[in-house]
Chains A and B, each alone.
With several copies, the nearest count.
Chain A
């Protein structure tokens, strides 16, 4: 999933006509000062760390400035931060507006209804999970007719806005709906959405674009998620690879089987450290690459759990044997294998020839790998 930083989300908002405070991004304290001095960002202004994590206000990642010098100081303080593991590389400076009320508004997907859903609450400005459920309205929207006026009236009612503010909301909802669809968003969220005078202004912007729609959005190709270097390499090779805290590497095929394997390991006291989902690959080269990647994560032991369906057991075995030859000494690890299903016999034979025994049951093989990694925790 592609999470856009606030300033980038706001660029999209601007494109779709959603009203914003006047503001600009700065990457150095000097830049921040210059923006304030030139009036590009009117004073007093807010200086906000451009990180993806929430809770910036409490975390000291949002500051205020009344003068260009204060803008510089604030930017300098924030640009040095490492906020919840994220290094702050940009700050967003925005005019401070006279806020009458703070509202909450978002559009996301309701999987059960299979419909986009507008979520609204008159209690904006805080994390929506902390708002009482009765104060939150969920308005599903059918994609064929699109957002209907009666649905917009319902949102206006919930937000308690009338007159010109309601008119502003009407336009804003149309914009947000269009953005949600055209940009293949998983989530568009405005929190807080501020009532300022007779209009509405989006004080924050949270936009998440769906990964699967990347082919339609080359403009987001440069955005990296919070991945480890190995995870980044895996992504480039199209291997699902996640690093956890434990010491057992798990290679399986299919998300469900991978998760089930982790469940079994945990249950017997094992501690999975990396999991790698081969997916439906049939390509020995891919298998080899996956193994080498696993080796670089330096697990204490590796558990290979494959059920051959589309994937053939012999192909996986061949890739594995090839990979084992290439793993440098420093990265060697004990390996426990369980390969079942399509071409199982051939696969087991290939492994045996390379000195690896395939243990047929999940229970036994899981216990074997836990032992190999130094025993249950």
Chain B
């Protein structure tokens, strides 16, 4: 395994019989992913895209040795689906579902973590390692195998950027879409060490957004622990201040959380900062060229 997924990843799809579950099972398989099982209570014995469906995660794991889950079940049931996956011993869960209450996600996160598990998401595009495996919904077409690692809080913008890297003639080692919810299972600080330690990644692209302080925390980590070059972009520089989480929210972020504070922190940590998404491939290409000369 390089960063979380590889050829040995055996994917279980929770909510496989739903529209999204079915569509993305097909896409994951087309990507070359070993999708080994699906779970939808009451649908045991059927098949979706050639993948056997089980009633429970425990049965699915017992029968197929699935070791990662991709969760598509609707928000009111997502917490339960994740707990079921954790209880069945699955340690990597990609939660695609959006609109999960953060109170639920707090339980999901801390429970999973207490069992040594990792969540990517919720409300996220997931993770993909071209030529190896994809768990989630990032479009297959944007990828080609390469040595650029991408970590992003965005969805579509990630696709655009990953595609831009491909069009610039470069490829990706692994791309993780973290999701933009208030509580995410994997944040920049959690993902950065994986890429720093990944022998297949030469350059890291970090795509952030305004709100929260995940980018500032990431910058702090980069400053102390990341030796690989980082290219960063923050979306939302011109966005209206928007509806903040009351006064108390401001007290927690302590003046951080704007595009300016994020860009300043990343820049101070040594990251190359792109002003526009389309500048990212160029900055990456420059770095790659410099690395090649060495």
Chain A interface residues toward B at CB < 8 A: 1, 54, 106-112, 114-117, 119, 127-129, 133, 136, 138, 142-145, 148-150, 153-154, 157, 181, 184, 186-187, 189, 191, 206, 208, 210-213, 215-216, 225, 242, 244, 252-257, 259-260, 262-267, 272, 280, 307-311, 340-342, 361-363
Contact = CB atoms under 8 A, between A and B. Distances in A.
Given A115-B106, A244-B240, A341-B139, A256 B157 contact: yes
A215 B99 CA distance: 10
B247 A54 contact: yes
Given A112-B217, A213-B101, A310 B83 contact: no
Given A114-B110, A260-B235, A307-B156, A129 B247 contact: yes
Contacts of A187: 245-246, 248-249
Mostly helix, strand, loop or mixed at chain A's interface?
A: mixed
A255 B277 contact: no
B7 interface: no
B99 A212 contact: yes
Contact of B252 (A110, A210, A212, A341): A110
B248 A143 contact: no
A259 B103 CA distance: 27
B101 A145 contact: no
B138 to A, nearest CB: 7
Contacts of B155: 254-257, 280, 309
A246 to B, nearest CB: 10
B100 A212 contact: yes
Given A112-B217, A267-B276, A260 B249 contact: no
Contacts of B239: 259, 262-263
B159 A309 contact: yes
Interface of B: 23, 41, 55-57, 75-77, 79-81, 83-84, 87, 99-103, 106-107, 109-111, 114, 125, 137-139, 141-142, 152-160, 163, 180, 182-183, 187, 207, 209-210, 212-214, 217, 235-240, 243, 245-252, 254, 275-278
B127 to A, nearest CB: 15
Nearest to B84: A150
Contact of A111 (B101, B110, B182, B237): B182
A254 B154 contact: yes
A342 B157 contact: no
A150 B57 contact: yes
7 contacts: A109-B183, A112-B217, A127-B247, A144-B107, A189-B246, A255-B154, A310-B139
Given A109-B182, A145-B79, A150-B84, A257 B109 contact: no
Nearest to A310: B137
Contacts of A253: 156
Contacts of A191: 247
B110 A144 contact: yes
Contact of B163 (A136, A184, A340): A340
Contacts of A216: 76, 101
Given A210-B101, A309-B138, A263 B276 contact: yes
Contact of A138 (B152, B210, B243, B252): B252
A110 B278 CA distance: 33
A143 B107 contact: yes
Contacts of B103: 143, 181, 184, 210, 213
Given A142-B110, A263-B235, A307 B252 contact: no
B83 A148 contact: yes
A266 B106 contact: no
Contacts of B247: 54, 106, 127-129, 189, 191
B101 A341 contact: no
Given A255-B155, A256-B157, A189 B248 contact: yes
Closest 8 A/B residue pairs (Cβ): A256-B154, A254-B156, A256-B157, A266-B238, A213-B101, A259-B236, A259-B235, A150-B84
Contacts of B142: 309, 341
A263 B236 contact: yes
Contacts of B236: 259-260, 262-263
Contacts of B212: 111-112
A108 B110 contact: no
A210 B102 contact: yes
A176 to B, nearest CB: 12
Contacts of B125: 309
